[in-house]
């Protein structure tokens, strides 16, 4: 099929003609699009981070509840062995010790400030 200009279909530019304006307006429009794209990317990364924090919190809370359940209820109501409960204890305490150590080291080391 040919266009009114007698060009083959694959050579026809179907994009609307550019709006009247100077090169400066086009550059500003492109910069605006880039800023919107960067903001959208930052928003997506932020949402993923919030989801990860919530997921870690739920996992920690579930682990803590399971641990307490196995300590407070009769042994006939539990499904983990004491070795497995001990492993939960190790994971919980090592995470806490690691977090405290990380904060302490962060306080000791000088931070690099952008000037």
- For helices 82-108 and 23-72, angle between their N-to-C axes, nearest 10 degrees: 140
Q: Which ranges constitute the DSSP H helices of 20-111? A: 23-72, 82-108
Q: pLDDT tens for residues 87-102?
A: 999 988 887 777 878 7
* CA 23/CA 21 separation, integer angstroms: 7
Residue 51 above 90 pLDDT?
yes
* Mean per-residue pLDDT of the chain: 80
Q: pLDDT tens for residues 22-43?
A: 666 777 788 788 888 888 898 9
Predicted structure pTM score: 0.56
The residue with tokens 């209820």 is 73
Q: Tokens for 44?
A: 């997506």
């Amino acid at each position: 099929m040919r266009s009114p200009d007698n060009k083959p279909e694959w050579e026809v530019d179907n994009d609307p003609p550019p709006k009247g304006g100077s090169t400066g307006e086009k550059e500003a429009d492109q910069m605006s699009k880039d800023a919107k794209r960067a903001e959208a990317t930052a928003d997506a990364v932020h949402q993923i981070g919030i989801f990860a924090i919530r997921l870690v919190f739920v996992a920690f809370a579930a682990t803590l509840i399971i641990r307490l359940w196995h300590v407070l209820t009769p042994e006939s109501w539990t499904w983990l062995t004491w070795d497995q409960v001990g492993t939960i204890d190790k994971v919980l305490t090592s995470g806490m010790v690691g977090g405290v150590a990380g904060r302490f080291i962060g306080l000791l080391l000088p931070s690099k400030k952008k000037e």
